[in-house]
Structure 1
Amino acid sequence: MTSQPRDAPQFYLTSPSACPYLPGKEERKVFTHIVGRRGRELNEILTQGGFRRSQTIAYRPACDACRACVSVRVLVNEFEPSGNLRRVLKDNADLIGNPLPNRPTSEQYSLFRRYVDARHADGGMADMTVLDYSMMVEDSHVDTKVIEYRRRGIDSGITGKGAGDLIAVCLTDEMSDGLSMVYSFYEPEMQDRSLGTFMILDHIRRAKAMGLPYLYLGYWVEGSKKMGYKARFKPQERLLAHGWVRVD
């Protein structure tokens, strides 16, 4: 009798469920576990192939009659912000992000709860407990950081850290060819700052400073208001049937 080695991925297919992006559609996902000694290597291969990570699960849409979900990655070395995006950077010039180990805190969870309750009260994360949140942050077999954004303090030029209340957070995977934004959230009462957009711009800057060519943004879904914003960050590459295709 033969057995599969622990590092060899096995793939599974979910049952159909309601699509969260396009009304009247159903979705299915193919998924596998990212565990073992090859966790980081496997995560990179799968991310480059259009998968996304959630804890120790890597998943990708596998819908029977729909290909609307398209993986997107920004070409960071060629990216130039538009006038609107430069205004977002200016409006948030008083913020600074501090990369930390992927350890959850009560302050993070409080911000997460305010964000979800205000923006996604009917979504899949609405019932997440503090334990669920802790698992989302900690349960990773890859190189994951939590980037906390706070206002610049008087010592920020020396320490590289912000001061005061936590304003935004991004859970980010560091890979050999880029950064992948796994999940982000922010203070919902500061909508006028466009904090979600600012965190993407800041990650583009971070990837470029690290000498990495890509920022992975997950799925762009044409016709979905939730995902349409990702088309703003060009030049980018989109993963189509025949590979990654540049879009300017």
Structure 2
Amino acid sequence: MTAPFRFPRFFVTAPSPCPYLPGRQERKVFTELNGQHASELNDALGRIGFRRSQSVAYRPSCAGCAACVSVRVVTEGFKPNATQRKLLRRHEDLEAHACRPWATDEQFQLLRRYLATRHPGGGMAQMDEGDYADMVEQSPVNSYVVEYREPATEGKRGRLIGACITDRQADGLSMIYSFFDADDPERPSLGNYIIMDHILRARDAGLPYVYLGYWVKGSERMAYKTRYRPIEVLGPNGWAAFDPDADPVPPHAPRVRELV
């Protein structure tokens, strides 16, 4: 006999400085993912705008601000533009492998270089090997690390130049965190390539969406997420097609009952 499904309890974090919009405060609502129904709960919460971090699902719940908007790419309709096609050709020699969620020193060293280049003062800059292992391995759902390597030479594995912690959900791939060699002039725009690879990977697997997390209008750090079309945003009436160049931003995502 299986245990009955219990509605999760939600909690709210204390306000803290927003990392995306200066002068604002962020707050998150979150719940724990555990037990035999963790994957089903993660799928359901993902459809209403939650993201996973280790064994926690969270979503912004900021007082007086709804700038963070959940976005997802519709894989079937995706057609790369001229710049994106050029980028796909530029990196077509890379070898991508979906690996079990087990942290390696090679991945961690790549992450350290990435953070030092792109986010030197960010909250992850002080991560150590144990923190990274927790980030990768503490997953109660179906997840893996997609590694991107240069071609093998003389029987040796190619250099690791990119990686993405990815969840496979019932209706798509959720890109939890990607990092890459941001200093190699011969490998430009690897982050964009990794996103496109996930879109094509999901489409080949028959999955309709790739979840990219939150887009924040006015934040340059988040502008890249709207380059992949067609894209949908989560508003008060559910997911809807979105043109970032023309459409207004939905005021907020569907509400969940917040329990402390």
TM value normalised by structure 2: 0.88
SS at match of 1:246: strand
Per-residue deviation, 1:190: 2.2
Q: Matched residue pairs, number?
A: 239
User: 2:5 touches 2:37 (CA, 8 Å); kept in 1?
Assistant: no
Q: Distance in 1 between matches of 2:140 and 2:33?
A: 7
Residue deviations 1:55-81 (CA, integer Å, cap 9, x gap): 001110001111110000100000001
Q: CA deviation at 1:8?
A: 3.7
Matched, 1:178 2:172: yes
Instruction: Report the AA paired with residue 240 of structure 2.
Output: V
SS in structure 2 opposite 1:167? strand
1:1-248 equivalences in 2 (<5 Å): 7-153=6-152, 163-190=157-184, 193-248=188-243
Q: Which runs of 5+ in 1 are unaligned?
A: 157-161
Asked whether the 8 Å contact 2:182–2:190 carries over to 1, the reply is no
Q: Which whole-Å CA distance do the structure 1 matches of 2:242 and 2:151 have between them?
A: 35
- Structure 1 vs Structure 2: percent identity of aligned residues? 49
**Higher strand proportion:** 1
CA distance in 1, matches of 2:101, 2:6: 23
TM-score by length of 1: 0.92
Cα separation, 2, equivalents of 1:41 and 1:19: 30
RMSD: 1.8
CA contact (8 A) 1:28 1:62 kept: yes
Amino acid at match of 1:166: L
Question: Which residue type is aligned with residue 135 of structure 1?
Answer: D
SS in structure 2 at match of 1:233: coil
CA contact (8 A) 1:7 1:37 kept: no
Q: Report the AA paired with residue 167 of structure 2.
A: D
Q: Structure 2 counterpart of 1:124, which letter? A: G
Alpha-carbon offset, residue 41 of structure 1:
0.3
How much has 1:214 moved relative to structure 2? 0.3
Cross-structure match for 2:258: none
Tell me which amino acid in the other structure corresponds to 1:114: R
Report how far residue 96 of structure 1 moved.
1.8
* Separation of aligned partners in 2, 1:224 and 1:132: 27
